Chains A and B, each alone.
Chain A
Amino acid sequence: MAAYTLQRCLGAVKVIHKCGSHSFIARRSLLSTAYTDSKLWDAREKDHQNLALLAALMDRTYDRNFPVSSLSISRFVDNISSREEVDQAEYYLYKFRHSPNCWYLRDWTVHSWVRQCLRYGARDKALHTLKNKVQYGMFPDDFTFNIMIDSFIKDEDFKGACSVVEEVMLQESFDLPTTQILSLYALSNYLATKPELSMSEERALGASLLISGLKQDSSIGLSAQLLGCALLGKVEMAAGIHAVFRGMPLMWTPGYLGRALAVMERVAAAPGDGKLSKDAVDYLEGLLQDLSSASDSSSGEDDESGGEEGKKEEEVVVDEDDQAERDKLPLYASRFKDLSGQLQSRGKVDPSPLQVLVSSLVQQSLASAEGPDMEQYQRKVGEWEAERQQLIRREKEMRERAEEERRAHQAAKAAAKQG
Chain B
Amino acid sequence: MVKKKRIRLIAEMARKIRAYRELKNRPRESEKYALDYDTMTRPHTRKTLPVLAWQDVRRESRLFSLLSGLRMFGVGHLFTRKSWLTEHPEAPSYWQVTKVKVDYTAENMDHGRAWGVLTYKGKQESEPKEMDKVMYHDWRLVPKHEEEQFKLYNPVPEPPIRYVSYPPLLRAMLLAQRQKDELGSAAEEPTLPLKRDVLLSKEYFRSQEKKRERQEGTAV
On A, residues with C-beta under 8 Å from B are 97-100, 102-103, 133-135, 139, 170-173, 211, 214, 242, 245-247, 249-252, 317
Residues of B contacting A171 in the complex (Cβ-Cβ under 8 angstroms): 70-71
Point out the residues of chain A lying under 8 angstroms from B105, CB to CB: 98
Question: For residue A250, which residues in chain B have a CB less than 8 angstroms away from its CB?
Answer: 143
* Residues on B with beta carbons closer than 8 Å to the beta carbon of A100: 104
> Nearest Cβ in chain B — how far from A252, in angstroms?
6
- The complex places the Cα of A251 from the Cα of B109 at a distance, in Å, of 25
Using A171-B71, A246-B61 as known contacts, say yes or no to A102 and B143 having CB atoms under 8 A apart.
no
Q: CA–CA, A135 to B110, complex, Å? A: 11
Identify the closest chain B residue to A249 (Cβ). Answer: B143
- Contact between A102 and B59 (Cβ–Cβ < 8 Å)? no
The CA-CA distance from A242 to B58 in the complex, in Å, is 11
Does B48 reach chain A (CB closer than 8 Å)? Answer: no
* B43 contacts partner chain A, Cβ-Cβ < 8 Å: no
Given A97-B109, A170-B69, verify A251-B143 contact (CB < 8 Å): yes
**Bound Cα distance A139, B60 (Å):** 24
List, in ascending order, chain A residues with CB within 8 A of B60's CB: 242, 246
Across the interface, name the chain B residue whose C-beta is closest to A97: B109
A249's partner among B72, B102, B144 (CB-CB below 8 A) is B144
Q: Within 8 Å CB of B68, what residues of A?
A: 134
Q: List 18 A-B contacts (CB under 8 A).
A: A98-B104, A98-B109, A102-B104, A102-B109, A103-B72, A134-B68, A134-B108, A134-B109, A139-B71, A171-B70, A172-B144, A242-B59, A247-B66, A250-B143, A251-B143, A251-B146, A252-B85, A317-B55
A139 CA to B105 CA, complexed, in Å: 20
Q: Is B214 an interface residue (CB 8 A)?
A: no
Residues of B within 8 A of A (CB): 55, 59-61, 66, 68-73, 85, 100, 102, 104-105, 107-109, 140-141, 143-146
Chain B residues with Cβ below 8 Å from A172 are 143-145
A49 to chain B, nearest CB (A): 25
In the complex, are the beta carbons of A252 and B140 less than 8 A apart?
yes
Shortest distance between the CB of B25 and any CB in chain A (Å):
13
Q: Smallest Cβ distance from A134 to chain B, in angstroms?
A: 5
Contact indicator A102/B102 (Cβ below 8 Å): yes
Q: Closest B-chain residue to A175, C-beta based?
A: B144
Given A97-B109, A246-B61, CB of A139 within 8 Å of CB of B72 = yes
Nearest CB of chain B from residue A128's CB, rounded to whole Å: 16
When distances are taken between beta carbons in the complex, the residues of chain A under 8 Å from B141 are: 249
Max chain A Cβ within 10 angstroms of own Cβ: one of B104, B109, B140: B104
Summed over the interface, the residue pairs from A and B with CB atoms below 8 Å come to a total of: 51
A247 neighbours in B (Cβ, 8 Å) = 61, 66, 69
Give the residues in chain A near B146, CB-CB below 8 Å: 251
Q: Are A211 and B145 in contact (CB under 8 A)?
A: yes
User: Which residues of chain A have C-beta atoms less than 8 A from B72's C-beta?
Assistant: 103, 139
B71/A103 in contact, CB under 8 A: no
CA distance A102 to B109 in the complex (A): 10
Q: Per a CB cutoff under 8 Å, which of A97, A99, A133 touches B69? A: A133
B175 to chain A, nearest CB (A): 58
List the 5 shortest-distance A-B pairs measured between CB atoms, nearest first: A249-B143, A139-B71, A134-B68, A172-B144, A242-B59
Q: Is the CB of A214 within 8 A of B140?
A: no
Are A134 and B104 in contact, CB atoms less than 8 angstroms apart?
Answer: no
Assess whether B102 is in contact with A135, with CB atoms less than 8 Å apart: no
- Contact assessment for A246 and B104 in the assembled complex, using a CB-CB cutoff below 8 Å: no
The reply to whether A246 and B59 form a contact with Cβ atoms under 8 Å apart is yes
C-alpha gap A148/B143 in the complex (Å): 24
| Closest B residue, CB atoms, query A102 | B104
Query: Which residues of chain B have C-beta atoms less than 8 A from A139's C-beta?
Result: 70-72
Cα separation A247 to B141 with both chains bound (whole Å)? 8
CB contacts (< 8 Å) of A242 on chain B: these are: 59-60
What's the least CB distance linking A253 to chain B, in Å? 9
- Chain A's nearest CB lies how many Å from the CB of B62? 12
B82 and chain A: residue at smallest CB distance: A252
The residues of A that contact B145 with a CB separation of less than 8 Å are 172, 211, 214
Q: Quote the shortest CB–CB distance from A409 to chain B (angstroms).
A: 24
Contacts of B85 in A (CB 8 A): 252
Cα of A247 to Cα of B60 in the assembled complex, Å: 9
A135 near B104 (CB under 8 angstroms)? no
* With A135-B108, A249-B144, A252-B140 as contacts: A103 and B73 at CB distance below 8 Å: yes
Kindly list chain B residues whose C-beta atoms are within 8 Å of the C-beta of A173.
71
Residue of A nearest to B101 (CB): A103
Shortest CB distance A122–B (Å): 23
Residue of chain A at shortest CB distance from B141:
A249
Quote the shortest CB–CB distance from A69 to chain B (angstroms). Answer: 15
Chain A residue at minimal CB-CB distance from B145 = A214
Check A134/B69 contact, CB under 8 A, given A97-B109, A102-B109: yes
Which of chain A's residues have a CB closer than 8 A to the CB of B108?
Answer: 134-135
Q: Say how far B220's CB is from chain A's closest CB, in angstroms.
A: 27
Is A99 a contact of B61 with CB atoms below 8 Å? no
User: How far is A294 from B141 in the complex, measured between Cα atoms in Å?
Assistant: 33
